[in-house]
Amino acid sequence: MSDNDLKLQIALRGDMTKEYVDLHALGIALINIQTIFDRSYCFYTGRKRITSNDRESFKIVAYNVKRGSIIFDAGLTAFTLQQSLAITQTIDPKLIFKATVAGFKFLHKYFSQTNKNNVPTINITNSPGAVFNYNSDNNTISVSNDTLHISQAMRPALRRVATIFGQQPGELSINSQEYPKEDIVLNNDDAHLFKSNRVISNVPIILNGIVKSFSAENLTGHFDVGPGNAIPIGKYTFVVKDGSGSDINAFIESLKGNSLQVTAFVEYDVTPAIQSNITKLYLTPATTSDLSSVESA
């Protein structure tokens, strides 16, 4: 390991590594770990893609592989590229690592809060370098332009990494001893947040509205939400949650213009650069138990 390296530990743990190692899954993880860091490299060098010459100057290399869980003692190598920089500071492994972690943490916080039906407000700062701060009091995320751009570029690679997590418990972690509080951790509990551009909230809300169209065959339609609800006024596409197990007569009756109270799970098109849009509602007719559980949440 050279003096220009940043020491890393890359670990794949859990049932997926106990009895055997799925080489296909391992390959997906390792290739896309490099790609995730490549996005920061490209941002700070002004590159659109990594060339063969870039790869000679910037790569993750493993020095030791430990048995049991798949653990790599690795190094992030980057040579000084002062003349090609898009900004006026020397690129080094520490900058790449911190920017990549900030981008990941931004996406993770944004997606996980949206999953709770609590879409954060984004405050873009003029701070140089990678900045990420979350204020839980007002559900606001402050990020620099660096972090915002890098996070968006990372999403396809994170989506591919998320595909290795299925039914078996597992975790992928990337950290450096030099920054003990900064790491990237992805596991079965949160991998679903990165698997597509859409996030479905796991916190139900109660809505009042009128069914404007409905297909009893497909269990889909449009639901007109009026004022005073937890989401903006508008007509939303919906699908009946739990399929044929739900009482569809309530939706049919609402087609006559009758107001209907429903329990809704909201699907968002998660675009952290701007306010995320509601793309679909998953509905069931509200019951007394639904009302009490939502009120106490």
pLDDT digits (tens, 9 = 90+) for 189-206: 999 999 999 999 999 999
**Residue 111: band (very low, low, confident or very high) from pLDDT cuts 50, 70, 90:** very high
Tell me the pLDDT of the chain averaged across its residues.
85
Dihedral of CA 228/234/209/247: which sign?
Answer: negative
Tell me what pLDDT residue 275 has.
74
CATH fold group of domain 199-296 = OB fold (Dihydrolipoamide Acetyltransferase, E2P) (2.40.50)
Q: What is the pTM of this model?
A: 0.86
Interval 258-284: pLDDT, tens: 999 999 999 999 987 767 899 999 999
Average pLDDT over residues 34-51: 90
Look up residue 284 and give its DSSP letter.
E
What residue has token string 């992928």?
Answer: 172
Q: Are strands 121-125 and 140-144 parallel, antiparallel or unpaired?
A: parallel
CA distances from 92 to 38, 128, 205, 239, 257 (A): 13, 15, 47, 50, 63
Residues 6+ away with beta carbon under 8 Å from 86: 43, 44, 45, 46
Q: How confident is the model at residue 208 (pLDDT cuts 50, 70, 90)?
A: very high
The more confident residue out of 291 and 223 is 223
Residues 55-102: pLDDT tens digits? 877 888 888 777 666 777 766 775 444 333 344 345 678 889 999 999
- Where in the chain are the domains? 5-196, 199-296
